[in-house]
C-alpha cells in the first residue's frame, strides 16, 4: 500500500503543511496577544472559513468537477453540532420532539466536530455511490440537486431543525487554539490526500478522464474517495462553524453560502490548498475594508457617501471576473507554498 506513495510529493506536502500551520499559528498568536473581542472573532471566522474552503478544494480541485452540494454537508455538520451541544434545558423548550437521549446529551467541542464529520460521512457514502458513476455535467447537476433536497429537509423537518425558525443557544466552544488545530489538521489532510496515489489518480481523471480509465484506474472509485473525504472535512467545518455562530437557520446553507465559498476558492486557486487559504484571506480582507462603505461613510464634513447595500458581494463578484481574466487558474495557480520556497532555492543553486 505505502510503496505507491511518491516520496517527493509527500515531502513537499509536508513542507507546505508546516509552513501553513506556522502562518495560521502566527495569526492566532497575534490575535491572542491583541486580545480584542472583534479581532478574535475575525480570526475564528477566518479559520472556520479556511476549513470549509479547504474541504471544498479537496474535491473540486482534485477532481475538476464543480460541486454545488458541499454546503449541504456543511449544514449537516452544523445541525449535528447544534443538536449535540445545546444545553438540555434549551433543547427541552425549543425542540421538545427530539428523542430523550439526544435531548439530554451535551458533548464537548471535539466530540461535536467528530460527530459532524461522521454524520456527513454517512450521507456522503449514500449519495456518493450514485454520484460517482455519473458523467461530469450530470454530477454537477446532481450535487445541486443534493443541495436543494437537503435544504428542503432542513427547512421542513421541524422536530429536529425547528424548520425555517432555526436553532439557537449553541454554546461558544470555539477558541483561537482549537480553531487553529482544526484548520491545520484539515489543511494537512487535504495536502496529504493531494499527494496520495488516490489523489494523483483523481487529478489524472481531472485532466483526462478517458486516458485515466485506459490506464486501469477506476475513475468512479477515485471520485468516490475524493467525494467522501471532502464531505468529512466539510462536516467537521460545519460543526466548527455552528459553535462559532451560535444560532442559524436553514437558509444559511443555500445558494448564497455556496457562492461565497466557491468565490473564495476560485479567487485563490482551485488546484491549491495554499490558494484556498489565500482566497479566504483576500475575500475576508476585502469584506472588512468595504463593510464600512455598506453602511454609508462620511469623509470630512463635506463628502458623504450614501449607503451601498451589497457592495461587498458585488466587489467580490467583480474581483472573480478580473482574476479569471488575468489569471484563469486563480491567484496561486497550481503552486503550493513549498513550491515558492523550493523554486527560490533552486534558482539560487543555479546562479
Q: Which residues of this chain interact with another protein, rule CB under 8 A? A: 60, 64, 66, 130, 133-135, 137-138, 141-142, 144-145, 148-149, 152-153, 155-156, 255, 259, 262-263, 266, 270, 308-311, 313-314, 316-318, 320-321, 324-325, 328
Nearer to another protein, 181 or 220 (CB): 220
Please, what is the minimum distance in Å from the beta carbon of residue 177 to another protein? 35
Could you report how far apart the first and last alpha carbons of the chain are, in Å?
Answer: 40
Helix intervals (H) in the chain: 7-34, 37-63, 70-85, 88-94, 100-103, 109-131, 136-156, 158-161, 176-195, 197-207, 209-214, 219-245, 255-268, 273-294, 311-326, 337-350
Residues 150 and 63: their CA atoms lie apart, in Å, by 23
Please, what is the minimum distance in Å from the beta carbon of residue 17 to another protein? 26
Please, what is the minimum distance in Å from the beta carbon of residue 155 to another protein? 8
Please, what is the minimum distance in Å from the beta carbon of residue 277 to another protein? 19
Please, what is the minimum distance in Å from the beta carbon of residue 314 to another protein? 4
Nearer to another protein, 36 or 208 (CB): 208
Nearer to another protein, 157 or 177 (CB): 157
Residues linked to residue 247 through DSSP beta bridges, in sequence order: none
Residues 27 and 43: their CA atoms lie apart, in Å, by 8
Residues 237 and 47: their CA atoms lie apart, in Å, by 10
Name the grid cell of 47. 479559520
- The closest alpha carbon to 255, from 131, 69, 124, 128, belongs to 69
CB atoms within 10 A of CB 64: 16
Please, what is the minimum distance in Å from the beta carbon of residue 93 to another protein? 24
Give the per-residue SS3 of 75-114: HHHHHHHHHHHCCHHHHHHHCCCCCHHHHCCCCCHHHHHH
- DSSP, residue by residue, 49-72: HHHHHHHHHHHHHHH----S-HHH
Enter the DSSP assignment of 307. Answer: P
Residues 178 and 282: their CA atoms lie apart, in Å, by 23
Give CA separation, 337 vs 20, 23, 273, 281, in Å: 8, 11, 9, 15
Please, what is the minimum distance in Å from the beta carbon of residue 178 to another protein? 32
Please, what is the minimum distance in Å from the beta carbon of residue 331 to another protein? 13
Please, what is the minimum distance in Å from the beta carbon of residue 297 to another protein? 15
Kindly compute the dihedral angle of the four CA atoms of residues 204, 205, 210, 212, in this order, to the nearest 10 degrees: 50
Amino acid at each position: 500500500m505505502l510503496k505507491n506513495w511518491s516520496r517527493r510529493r509527500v515531502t513537499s506536502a509536508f513542507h507546505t503543511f508546516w509552513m501553513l500551520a506556522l502562518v495560521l499559528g502566527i495569526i492566532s498568536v497575534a490575535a491572542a496577544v491583541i486580545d480584542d473581542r472583534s479581532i478574535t472573532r475575525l480570526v475564528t471566522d477566518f479559520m472556520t472559513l479556511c476549513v470549509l474552503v479547504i474541504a471544498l478544494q479537496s474535491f473540486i480541485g482534485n477532481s475538476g468537477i464543480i460541486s454545488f452540494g458541499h454546503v449541504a454537508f456543511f449544514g449537516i455538520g452544523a445541525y449535528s453540532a447544534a443538536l449535540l451541544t445545546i444545553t438540555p434545558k434549551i433543547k427541552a423548550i425549543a425542540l421538545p420532539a427530539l428523542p430523550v437521549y439526544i435531548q439530554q446529551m451535551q458533548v464537548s467541542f471535539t466530540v461535536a466536530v467528530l460527530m459532524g464529520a461522521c454524520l456527513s460521512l454517512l450521507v456522503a457514502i449514500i449519495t456518493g455511490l450514485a454520484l460517482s458513476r455519473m458523467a461530469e455535467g450530470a454530477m454537477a447537476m446532481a450535487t445541486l440537486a443534493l443541495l436543494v433536497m437537503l435544504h428542503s429537509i432542513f427547512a421542513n423537518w421541524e422536530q429536529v431543525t425547528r424548520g425555517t425558525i432555526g436553532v439557537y443557544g449553541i454554546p461558544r466552544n470555539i477558541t483561537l487554539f482549537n480553531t487553529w488545530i482544526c484548520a491545520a489538521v484539515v489543511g494537512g489532510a487535504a495536502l496529504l490526500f493531494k499527494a496520495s496515489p488516490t489523489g494523483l489518480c483523481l487529478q489524472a481523471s481531472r485532466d483526462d478522464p478517458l486516458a485515466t480509465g485506459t490506464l486501469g484506474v477506476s475513475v468512479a472509485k477515485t471520485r468516490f474517495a475524493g467525494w467522501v473525504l471532502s464531505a468529512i472535512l466539510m462536516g467537521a467545518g460545519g460543526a466548527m462553524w455552528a459553535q462559532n455562530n451560535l444560532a442559524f437557520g436553514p437558509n444559511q446553507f443555500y445558494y448564497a453560502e455556496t457562492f461565497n465559498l466557491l468565490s473564495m476558492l476560485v479567487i485563490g486557486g482551485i488546484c491549491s490548498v495554499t490558494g484556498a487559504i489565500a482566497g479566504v484571506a483576500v475575500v475576508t480582507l476585502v469584506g472588512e475594508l468595504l463593510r464600512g462603505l455598506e453602511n454609508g461613510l462620511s469623509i470630512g464634513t463635506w463628502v458623504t457617501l450614501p449607503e451601498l447595500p451589497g457592495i461587498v458581494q458585488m466587489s467580490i463578484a467583480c474581483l472573480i471576473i478580473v482574476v479569471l481574466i488575468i489569471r484563469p487558474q486563480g491567484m496561486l495557480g497550481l503552486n503550493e507554498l513549498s513550491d515558492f520556497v523550493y523554486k527560490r532555492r533552486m534558482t539560487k543553486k543555479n546562479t
